């Protein structure tokens, strides 16, 4: 399991963005993305991949996108 946790201070509210890569019992790889803030209105998306290469590429793409949007690795 590989997890990136990003934090961003957007004015008075802290924001988070999390990317997690995991392997499941069915031989698939999943990339979990969670984002939100302190008010509890977070969102979650899971994408499934049949091989590790595609899953890593997707996780890295979402990681770079979060960094471009002002998030920093915590």
Going by CATH, does the domain composed of 2-73 fall within 2.20.140? yes
Task: Tell me the pLDDT tens digit for each residue of 18-72.
Answer: 899 999 888 899 999 998 877 767 899 999 999 999 999 999 999 888 888 888 8
Neighbour-count burial for 29-47, b at 16+ CB within 10 Å, e otherwise: bbbbbebeeeeeeeeeeee
Cα separation of the two ends of the chain: 17
List Cβ neighbours of 70 (8 Å cut-off, separation of 6 or more).
8, 10
In this prediction, residue 45 carries a pLDDT of 94
Please state the domain extents for the chain. 2-73
């Amino acid at each position: 399991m590989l997890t990136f946790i990003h934090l961003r201070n957007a004015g008075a509210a802290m924001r988070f963005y999390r990317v997690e890569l995991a392997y499941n019992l069915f031989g698939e790889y999943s990339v979990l993305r969670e984002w939100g803030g302190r008010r509890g209105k977070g969102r979650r998306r899971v994408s499934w991949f049949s091989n590790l290469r595609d899953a890593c590429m997707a996780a890295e793409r979402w990681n770079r996108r979060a960094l471009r949007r002002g998030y920093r690795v915590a």
